[in-house]
Structure 1
Amino acid sequence: MSAEAGASDLVKVVALLGAAVVAVPIFRRLGLGSVLGYLAAGLVIGPFGLGWFSDPQSILHVAELGVVMFLFVIGLEMRPSHLWSLRRQIFGLGALQIGLCTLALTGVGLAFGYPLPVSFIGAMGFVLTSTAVVMQLLSERGDVALPQGQKVVSILLFEDLLIVPLLVLVAFMSPQVVQPEEGSRWMAIGIGVASLAGLIAAGIWLLNPLFRILAAAKAREVMTAAALLVVLGAALLMQLGGLSMAMGAFLAGVLLSESTFRHQIEADIEPFRGILLGLFFLGVGMALDLGVVGRNWPLIVSAVLAMMLVKALCIYAVARFTRSPHAEALDRAVLMAQGGEFAFVLFAAAAGAGIIDATVNANLTAIVVLSMALTPLFVLLFRRFSPVAKQSMEGIEEAKGLTGSVLIIGFGRFGQVMSQSLLARDVDVTIIDTDIEMIRSAEEFGFKIYYGDGTRLDVLRACGAQTAQAIAICVDNRGAANRMVELVKHEFPQAQVLVRSYDREHSLALISAGVDFQIRETFESAVEFGKAALVSVGVSEEDAETIAGEIRRRDAERFELEMAGGSVMAGAAMIYGKRPAKPTPTPLTKPKREARALNEEAAEIIGEEEEEE
């Protein structure tokens, strides 16, 4: 009997994997995206399709771990300093969007004839955007690290925080009398706060020492087990405290974001995250009750369209009010115009509290699931037919399985000029960039540029960074350059690292990070420009060259003095996000005096040369 049960369970696992393997490539080939493929596969094999599965909620419960791991990986990219810099977007932009959407969607519920408590619960369930759907779509587009992507992530984080007070609010709205043995609501809040404090304390004082000990053991499988333990342990602690599992995993990721082991942890978690997130979308597809939709299709279809439209309009209005461009506001409105997975938790709590009945719960659940299923399709249609959002990848080859002696990241004006020396000597060069129009333009002149984001470790590996002799970072974004330097120095120590610097402060940061060569993007051109200006007013070529050489020498000396004066520690803070030790006044004041003296001496030399002329 047990053998038959085991075989039955194995058949279900095979059916899930088979449905994903068949559906996802087909949908991606059709340009519909992997999320829609998972949802369609779940609908086909679920209880309302072929009937291979009868309990989609149990699959959803397990598959929520995919969302949990997704938030953990996002947390690894969010250093506390970066998260603090997003505080206005998280609590300002997030609160503004959620407040406006709640009012408008509650009005939609009232317009459909539902009483105020039911309308409010339905509105809040729809306000909580699907983290899984949005983050997957952002990830596929490579927009997570971009400014517009960071705004969306900030709003999603605020919504994850909101589920806790919403559940408390549901308990206060309940018409049912609370029994004394159920305990105080304030005690539940206290337990939640204590769980949060415990997780932060463990992250600060336990996680880094734990991974340091495990790394010394040199057992890769133990590191993987430890990474899973951290994610699941943080999620469990938050769940026991009545909080969001995803928020617990996100906090654990943030606490490990400055660890030297974070890249290894991310690589260990990635396969589990992808499989479980796919399983989550399969579960959502199974949960779409076609029977409920069939019996109440006029109400459900009209409610889905009305709520998605109203939410999109509110998101667009907030985006434009906060001075986002028209194209970005439209894209965000279409991307976030759906309900999310936390709505299922909220509706279940409201049903248990007696605020909504079983029929309303089924209808609201169907509305949210249908909105999640429609979002990838609407995003696809919007990006295909909207002139402001359309950016075809046709003819653009992504970086994959490449090799080369030199990897050049960024092919703007700086990268184009520096690459000419290498190409003149037939050096085997790999070039990547994220500007699609620039890639197309470069191909017209015979350059082969691949599409790839140099801030992603998987892309760097796909470009052959592990075998490259040199990696030239030529991007014009200081933050992106710092991120690339950190990845390359940690993961590819065999390569010489050459970096385009933004200014003197950035150059000091790069030197402190251990790059092999850096140059300020405007320094040499400005020196040459100044030399030409001298010649134009009658100074001889020889004297102009002498003065230019003197300026270079003085700049190098000032550079060394600033490094000796503690600027290296400040530079390390720029790239690695660590707080530099406070330098003593003595080594700071002396270099400043010497630098001032050098400047005065240089001015005197130039003045003497003018007198001799």
Structure 2
Amino acid sequence: DSVYRHQIAADIRPFRGLLLGLFFVSVGMQLDLAALLEQPLFVLGVVLSLIFVKAIVIASLAPFSGLDARTAIRTGVMLAQGGEFAFVLWSAAGSIGVLDNDASRILIVSVAVSMALTPFLFMLLDRFLPATSASTALSIVNEPESIEEIEDHVVVIGCGVVGTQVLLQLRERGVPVLALDRDVAKVSQLRRHTEHAFFGDATQPDVLEMIHIERASAVVIALDDPRQDLLVVGVLHYLFLDMPILARAHDEAHGELLKKAGATTVIPEVIDTGRHLVDALLLGGSGNEKVFETDG
């Protein structure tokens, strides 16, 4: 549970499909179906023993992590199949002579069969042991608000002086807020005020998806880099056409560029920019207004 988790997940997502494909190709190359056809009952016995023993062990240990009996049993069954590392282990054991070739072949095909049975185990679980119960439903209701549950909130992109001012004023007025920034130090400071402050690059659509920005009621952009402001506004406007986007302009020319990029409300950089952004937001900054006025 790290402030970096959304950025990390977005960065590794392109490699996930490639690595999964490589994994399944390697499994297919190691799988010897002849072993299954030669000794089907023995393989079935190994598979059932693996699933039974692993399910019992996991279900027995799960309550020590605070899980109730129903959830512990479901967890044990869902994790009872052989793991990917077993292919590496049995292959290595066979290659160095710890296991003979026949034993290695049978163990590898048994792990593959246990994986293939996983969807059917899930079907049996859903039929005979549904996930929801009165106790689990109550525990979910009593859990503290998480990023998976927050909605109709304001996303503040940029946690500098202005962004922090916006976040604190919105929190004082009871508005839920989520903050995003690429500066680790700024995110760490904001964590003192809200648990919903994360490290991430707002120009990456995958990061925006990870923080569920589609659930937000509006986005406030208060980055210190004018070019980064324009990039973020452009990405947001392209992905979420109807999303109210309020942005801090560094000067009038920058404000015009922000409007063209898709910002619905632009606030000039004055002493009290944060207050202007909050006021514009709470007054319904979803139109095409442009605020270019200073105090005094």
The TM-score normalised by the length of structure 1 is 0.25
Larger Rg: 1
The structure that is strand-richer by fraction is 2
The structure that is helix-richer by fraction is 1
